[in-house]
Amino acid sequence: MNGDAALSTPAPRTIGVMPVMSIVLTGLASAAIIVAMPGLLAGMATHIGLTDSQIALITSSEMGGTTATTLFVAAWLSRLDRRKAAFVGLLLILSVNLLSAYATTFTTLIVARFIAGLAAGALQGILSASIAATPIPDRIFAIYLTANLTATTAMLALLSRLNAIGQPQWLFMTVVMLAVLAILLLRWLPAGVTAHRPTDAEGAKPARGYGLSALLGTFVLLIGVGLTWPLVGVLGLDRAMSGEAVARALSFATVGGIAASVLVSAMGDRVGRRLPISAGATGLCVAVLIFILDGGQASFTAGAFVFMFCWVLILPYCAGLVATLDPSGRLSVLWVTMQFAGLATGPIIAAELLLSSADLPFYASLLCFGIAAALTLFAERGSRSTPDILENRSS
């Protein structure tokens, strides 16, 4: 009887401002610079004497380190003191970004960025587990996405100014400042499973198949994104758009991502997860069809906006889904790994498909989005049935 009462007691639906700020700053310190990194390394190429091959190696080493440590965090999450681990990760982020700002050789920079990747992967894993520990994971992840996209936009704007004065490496100092702020607020980082939610031991068995479906859905979704998004800039140039026009269109698309994350931040899961996931997957397919079938410049801008809006719309609900399936946070950490793995796999497949046809990667992404929606919606069904299963077991 007591077990039934505990399971049927609704979880509180609010979270304090300070825990949210701690989550957001920890995430920004570890991931906000990722999108700006290609432009940053290109700007540093003359200063340090980097070749295109060395730039690719630096980027690959950082992403490799990030993926590796998310797997480590997933395996050891139950044994980690999350705040202490986050403190070590933030100290590393602070130190290696200082080192990166003053690096004068390729060797120094690649070592610094590899260590930054290791720290970022650990922090992203802890961040996801902390979001899973909140009573409103969909909304909190959307708030983090809003902050991340806004910070990325600001960093890109700052990078253009720093490039103009020949000092792009000073962008690393913004990460140092974010890490300092995150350390100051670290005491508020959510560090355990939320009360009134089923524990990992209770929830793992019925949720296991659904959890795998959620992870595979995210992996396939991000493969689809990786098949399409890296080619969008080239697609614009093929339509006789100038580089400046393509940049403006992609900047406008970023606004679409911010709009989607703000919408989810305000709406949360009031309409459930099935509708926004279905709408997001449909919108991604519509955007890809626009890229394939319409050669106009205005349609290119609209397609990029819709693509980014729907991509960002889906992610918070996927984050909330895996948090519901496994409140311990382990599944949420693996979910981060699936994102990195999908984004890395998509471009590799695209490169092979481009040997046959310029449109083939876009058609392949349509297939990916359909499969991802089916897998994720199946997992969403499981997230709604799991509490009933648990309640029946305890009666």
DSSP 147-204: HHHHHHHHHHHHHHHHHHTT-GGGGHHHHHHHHHHHHHTGGGS--SPPTTS--HHHHH
For the stretch 45-58, pLDDT in tens is 877 888 877 887 88
- Rg, C-alpha atoms of the chain: 21
4-8, 35-39, 50-54, 224-228: which is most confident:
224-228
With 90 as the cut, is the pLDDT of residue 314 above it?
A: yes
Question: Can you tell me the mean pLDDT for 219-239?
Answer: 86
With 80 as the cut, is the pLDDT of residue 366 above it?
A: yes
Mean pLDDT (the chain, rounded): 84
CA 43 to centroid of chain Cα atoms: 25
For residues 90, 148, 110, 99, the Cα torsion angle rounded to the nearest 10 degrees is -50
Least confident interval from 211-225, 279-293, 346-360: 346-360
CA 93, CA 88: separation in Å to the nearest integer?
9
Residue 104 identity (one-letter amino acid) = T
CA 374, CA 325: separation in Å to the nearest integer?
17
Q: Tell me which of 2 and 383 has the higher pLDDT.
A: 383
For the stretch 25-41, pLDDT in tens is 999 999 888 877 877 88
Q: What's the confidence (pLDDT) of residue 207? A: 53
SS3 307: helix
Question: Can you tell me the mean pLDDT for 224-239?
Answer: 83
Nearest to residue 144, comparing CAs of 222, 313, 28? 28
For the stretch 248-293, pLDDT in tens is 887 788 889 899 999 998 888 788 899 999 999 999 999 999 999 8
Structure tokens at 246: 């393509």
Give the count of beta carbons closer than 10 Å to the beta carbon of residue 201: 8
- Please give the share of the chain, as a percent, with pLDDT higher than 90: 40
Q: What's the confidence (pLDDT) of residue 12? A: 54
Q: What's the confidence (pLDDT) of residue 208? A: 60
Q: Tell me which of 241 and 150 has the higher pLDDT.
A: 150
Q: What's the confidence (pLDDT) of residue 185? A: 96
- Residue 114 pLDDT level (bands cut at 50, 70, 90): very high
For the stretch 116-168, pLDDT in tens is 999 998 999 898 889 988 888 989 999 998 998 889 888 888 888 888 888 88
Nearest to residue 228, comparing CAs of 149, 376, 346, 353? 346
Q: Tell me which of 72 and 244 has the higher pLDDT.
A: 72
With 70 as the cut, is the pLDDT of residue 112 above it?
A: yes
- Residue 198 pLDDT level (bands cut at 50, 70, 90): very low
Q: Given the structure tokens 């693996």, which residue do they identify?
A: 334
CA 90, CA 119: separation in Å to the nearest integer?
7
* Phi, psi at 11, each rounded to 5°: -75, 145
Q: Given the structure tokens 């395996």, which residue do they identify?
A: 75
Percent helix, percent strand, percent coil in the chain, to nearest 5 = 85, 0, 15
Q: Tell me which of 40 and 309 has the higher pLDDT.
A: 309
With 90 as the cut, is the pLDDT of residue 376 above it?
A: yes
- Residue 215 pLDDT level (bands cut at 50, 70, 90): very high
* Contact between residue 133 and residue 82 where contact means Cβ atoms under 8 Å apart: no
Q: What's the confidence (pLDDT) of residue 224? A: 94
With 60 as the cut, is the pLDDT of residue 206 above it?
A: no
Q: Which residues of 67-104 are buried (b: 16+ CB within 10 A; e: fewer)?
A: bbbbbebbeebeebebbebbbebbebbbbbbbbbbebe
CA 50, CA 293: separation in Å to the nearest integer?
39
Could you tell me the pTM of the whole model? 0.79
Q: What's the confidence (pLDDT) of residue 373? A: 96
What are 35-40's contacts with CB under 8 Å, separation 24+?
35/152, 35/155, 35/156, 36/152, 36/155, 36/156, 36/159, 36/171, 37/62, 39/156, 39/159, 39/163, 39/168, 40/159, 40/168, 40/169, 40/171, 40/172
With 90 as the cut, is the pLDDT of residue 43 above it?
A: no
CA 350, CA 345: separation in Å to the nearest integer?
9
Q: What's the confidence (pLDDT) of residue 193? A: 55
Question: Can you tell me the mean pLDDT for 206-233?
Answer: 86
